[in-house]
Amino acid sequence: MSASLFLLPALLLAAAAATSKTVVESLAVAPGCQASCGGVDIPYPFGIGSGCFRKGFEIDCINNGPVLAGTTLQVVYLSVDPAESLVMLPVAWQCYNASSPGEAEDYSNGETAGMKKDGVYRISSTHNMLVVLGCNTFGFTASAGNFKGCMSYCNSSGSAEDGMCAGVGCCHVDIPPGLTDSYFRFWAYDHSAMMDYSPCDYVFLVDRTNYTFRRSDLLMDRNRTSPVRLDWAIRNNDAMSGAVLSCSDAAKSTTDPEYACISDHSECVDSINGPGYSCSCSDGYEGNPYLVNGCTRFWPSSTMPPSTVRRRWTTKTI
């Protein structure tokens, strides 16, 4: 695979690092919990280790790198507000053999079932697209009852052009909201005339601003992953306490002990991708609304806070 797909998470982090934001570091995580892993901040409700995360938001720190607990999915970035994250998802593929170019010899469907275990995450339909690569292939997602895909075709090794993804060697399509995991399928077509330049077909999700097709991608490494943005939300569907799947539900509930927006000066925000809600600090405040006293007064750069407050603040690059 070309570097266009593999190196972009580093570019995204570099862009984020270019902006300095004043935050209250001591309030970013639950007391006594690990604040980062492999250079990635782990703000509550995410957390590493017992007592440090909300159910469904556990992160494992493996070989000095964060992954979604129970999966092998690498975490690149976690955000409290907006409620989103960036992870690396597998590429699905099917490959042909020269002796039987009309039948797929081997394949991987790119499934990420572990990601939907607790229902926290949804694949962002706003930020991501589905991409199909190949010279005689139709690839599609078959996740959660949704069917979405496109056809890519080539008539020679020189047909596909760098930077072009409009059906010749590469096609892309928007995805529907509500996807909880990635699972892909292909229709098999004869590859006998293209085994030297397109022996495999590929389909993957990717952040739509962070992929540019290169003809060399038709021969990419099958083990590569792609950066994908996830929306997340608090989705309490416990039958014992009753479903709390929106701010309205949370406001009416008298039995839910897990209401997430616990800081003073915090507000409930309905999810934009599926049921559930997230939390945000009120206007004039910033920090972590999921922790007691997590939202603190925002001081514009032109205004210095009193010295008694300034000692609690640090400037952190995120």
The ranges assigned to domains in the chain are 87-232
- Letter string b/e over residues 278-302, b meaning 16 or more CB atoms within 10 A of that residue's CB: bbbbeeebbbbbbbeebbbeebeee
* pLDDT above 70 for 13: no
* pLDDT above 70 for 112: yes
- Least confident piece of the model among 99-108, 120-129, 154-163, 173-182: 99-108
The whole-number average pLDDT for the span 7-28 is 46
Confidence of residue 19 (pLDDT cuts 50, 70, 90): very low
- Least confident piece of the model among 53-62, 75-84, 137-146, 279-288: 137-146
Higher pLDDT, 239 or 301: 301
Q: What is the pLDDT of residue 42?
A: 97
* pLDDT above 90 for 121: yes
Q: For the CA atoms of the chain, what is the radius of gyration? A: 22
Structure tokens at 217: 């991608």
Cα 49 to chain center, whole Å? Answer: 21
Of the candidates 208, 205, 211, 202, which has an alpha carbon nearest to the alpha carbon of residue 182?
205
Q: What is the pLDDT of residue 147?
A: 79
* pLDDT above 70 for 77: yes
Cβ contact 125:170 at 8 Å: no
| Residue 206 backbone phi and psi in degrees, to 5 | -160, 150
* pLDDT above 90 for 282: yes
Q: What is the pLDDT of residue 85?
A: 96
**Cα–Cα distance, 265 to 297 (Å, whole number):** 9
Q: What is the pLDDT of residue 237?
A: 63
| 174-232 pLDDT per residue, tens | 998 888 888 898 988 888 889 999 999 999 999 999 999 999 999 999 999 999 999 99
* pLDDT above 60 for 151: yes
Rounded to 5 degrees, what angle do the CA atoms 264, 268, 274 make?
Answer: 155
Terminal alpha carbon distance of the chain: 29
**Cα–Cα distance, 148 to 143 (Å, whole number):** 9
Q: What is the pLDDT of residue 97?
A: 83
Confidence of residue 113 (pLDDT cuts 50, 70, 90): confident
- Least confident piece of the model among 39-53, 192-206, 236-250, 256-270: 236-250
Handedness of CA 60, 87, 26, 293 (dihedral sign): negative
**Cα–Cα distance, 53 to 18 (Å, whole number):** 28
Which residues pair with residue 270 across a beta bridge? 277
Mean predicted lDDT score pLDDT of the chain: 83
Rounded to 5 degrees, what angle do the CA atoms 236, 239, 242 make?
Answer: 65
Q: What is the pLDDT of residue 30?
A: 85
Q: What is the pLDDT of residue 180?
A: 87
| Residue 56 backbone phi and psi in degrees, to 5 | 95, -10
Q: What is the pLDDT of residue 14?
A: 46
* pLDDT above 80 for 12: no
CB atoms within 10 A of CB 169: 27
Q: What percent of the chain is modeled with pLDDT above 90?
A: 55
Higher pLDDT, 120 or 252: 120
Which residues pair with residue 77 across a beta bridge? 86
The whole-number average pLDDT for the span 91-109 is 82
Of the candidates 264, 308, 297, which has an alpha carbon nearest to the alpha carbon of residue 24?
297
**Cα–Cα distance, 25 to 47 (Å, whole number):** 15
Q: What is the pLDDT of residue 101?
A: 62
CB atoms within 10 A of CB 141: 26
DSSP 161-229: -TT--SSBSEEEEE--TT--S--EEEE----TT-TTT--EEEEEEEETTS----GGGGG--TT-EEEEE
Higher pLDDT, 115 or 151: 151
